[in-house]
Amino acid sequence: MIIDLKDKVAIVTGASRGIGAAIAKTLGASGAHVIVNYRTQTDLAQAVADDITAHGGSAEIMGFDVADDQAVRACFKAVTDRHGRIDILVNNAGISKDALMLRVKPEDFDAVVQVNLKGAFICAFHASRSMIKQHAGRIINISSIVGLGGNAGQSVYASAKAGLIGLTKSLAKELGSRGILVNAVAPGLIETDMTRGMDVISMGAGIPLGRVGRPEDVAGVVLFLCSDLGSYITGQVIVVDGGLYA
């Protein structure tokens, strides 16, 4: 079966690089019009949009801070005014400020929760208003295996990502009767800017599939959840970690 997202409008937050960029390109390649969100890296976001259009897709960039309610409200309204709908929201934007608990600064905790958790809530709030009118929509929250199992030195990041899982399950129950499916994807060790410079070959040796994941591995799962193939799946957390925590 060929997945066809033609006439769908998708917003992918934090899509200027890494997993977000791969998701944006994958959705674009499947026919969706993609809103490539960024906060500061305009050039990188434009490169992602250009890549999508160069391969026959449709995309535009939109800069806003996901934790800024007024900015999100205005930008999502602009999307609905221009395209008439929002079909897919992928809450991918996130930051990390890793440290052992006794070295965590309160302001660092606030910053991570603001972007990773509050930002996802704000975006889901405004996207769902359009989706409810359509009686259809998909919200995908990018969590992490750290949110499921924790990790020393990542208590703040783990807290925010675990919160995303709780948000996912609650929104799935609230919005299911409105035709809106809400799921989470929890990546394991993925080759991104965060792992660049590390010995990914050695790290991959401890993973049953024998390699570190690629952003495209995550993007494929997101595409599945956005398609008709995932039409009876909601409130779930799909782990993409090559069997690391199997």
Looking at the annotation, which residues are catalytic?
157
What token pair was written down for 164?
A: 């995303």
Find all residues with CB under 8 Å of 229, minimum gap 6, and list them: 1, 3
What token pair was written down for 123?
A: 């975006």
> What is d(CA 170, CA 13) in angstroms, rounded to the nearest whole number?
21
Measure the CA angle with vertex 106, ends 100 and 110; round to 5°. 105
Query: Is 48:25 a contact under the CB 8 Å cutoff?
Result: yes
What token pair was written down for 13?
A: 């937050």
> What is d(CA 35, CA 188) in angstroms, rounded to the nearest whole number?
26
